[in-house]
């Protein structure tokens, strides 16, 4: 039931990789999809990071396929620098590549989801859909909440 709202390319990639979602993922997706602020508290290895990314990736994918994706940052992910490279590869780059392959296999047009990773705060030359800023004191000082 947790994956029924996902696009078939997203749903198929997830089930091919993991079978069924963990309880933490299923509960998180329900909350995230309803637009609620969501804090995922679960044991290590339960798929918390993927749960957060995956709901957002699928939303961007679906808006992109409908040509409703506006330019600019859609996701802002802040992670401890120590974990950043592994988090990004495992929970962002791998799913994006798998979903793109599923779209191609099914004859659907690709959705160009750009990603930018920053290790320090400086202006970007383009507006990616997903921005991965540096963490630490410099970032927290420059963050504004509206």
130 compared with 107, residue with greater pLDDT: 107
What does the radius of gyration of the chain's CA atoms come to, in whole angstroms?
15
SS3 state at 66? coil
| Residue in this structure with the two tokens 């990314």, named with its chain if needed | 53
Most confident of 32-36, 46-50, 80-84, 101-105: 101-105
What's the CA gap between 116 and 124, in Å, rounded?
A: 8
Give pLDDT, residue 120: 53
Note the pLDDT tens digit of each residue in 55-81. 989 999 999 999 888 888 887 776 665
What domains, with CATH codes, occur in the chain? 8-142 (3.40.50.300)
Note the pLDDT tens digit of each residue in 132-142. 555 444 444 34
Helix, strand counts (H, E) of the chain: 6, 3
Note the pLDDT tens digit of each residue in 112-132. 887 776 655 555 555 566 655
């Amino acid at each position: 039931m947790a994956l029924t709202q996902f696009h078939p390319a997203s749903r198929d990639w997830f089930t091919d990789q993991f079978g069924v979602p963990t309880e933490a993922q299923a509960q998180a997706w329900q909350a995230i999809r309803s637009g609620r602020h969501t804090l995922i508290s679960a044991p290590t290895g339960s798929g918390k990071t993927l749960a957060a990314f995956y709901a957002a990736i699928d939303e961007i994918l679906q808006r992109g396929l409908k040509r409703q994706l506006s330019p600019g940052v859609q996701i802002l992910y802040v992670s401890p620098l120590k974990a950043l490279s592994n988090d990004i590869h495992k929970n962002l780059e791998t799913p994006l590549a798998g979903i793109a392959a599923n779209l191609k296999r099914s004859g659907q047009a690709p959705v160009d989801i750009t990603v930018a990773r920053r290790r320090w705060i400086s202006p970007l030359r383009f507006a990616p859909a997903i921005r991965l800023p540096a963490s630490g004191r410099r970032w927290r000082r420059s963050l504004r909440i509206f």
